[in-house]
Amino acid sequence: MKIWGYAVNSYYKTASVYVDIIPRHLVYFERVVEYFCCIRILHWFKFPNWNFICVDDDGHWHWKGNETTYTLKEWWGDLGSWFHCTIHNPIFQYIYSNKRDKTFSYPADYDKLKADFKDIDKEYWDRIAESEKEDEKDRMEEENTLG
């Protein structure tokens, strides 16, 4: 299955068009898991403040110890975050690894891509316009500090 898309960088005004070629059954599997990951109700279930997870100096976590401890709420937050980190993300990484998909990316003209897709994907480009305003503020601050 071929999945076409585009990516833009509003700060540097660069863009690219890409295609992912992935086996169809893996695409459907990932979309089902992604659907469950995006269910808002999962974020309603907050974890309790139990001291549960210990992190040693190397950053490895385990259940018991005298190292830094975190509560489940501090570590995971809610059921939605836990689902994303432990189920959705590993499946996503498995599917989009170099062995299972082929990705081809081609550079595109930022302004042309914006003109072609602005009406189709209005919500996305509205967010990009807000980001461009923030980027302009960042550039002005950078110039004032450097110069």
**Mean pLDDT per segment of 10 residues, for the chain of length 147 residues?**
87 89 89 87 84 64 62 82 90 83 90 88 87 83 75
Cα–Cα distance measured from residue 2 to residue 58, given in angstroms and rounded to the nearest whole number: 41
pTM reported for the whole predicted model: 0.60
Contact by Cβ (8 Å): 1, 29: no
Quote the pLDDT of residue 32: 92
- How far is it between the farthest Cα atoms of the chain? 58
Q: How far is CA 49 from CA 64, 91, 99, in A?
A: 16, 28, 41
Quote the pLDDT of residue 106: 93
Radius of gyration of the chain (CA): 21
Cα–Cα distance measured from residue 135 to residue 27, given in angstroms and rounded to the nearest whole number: 34
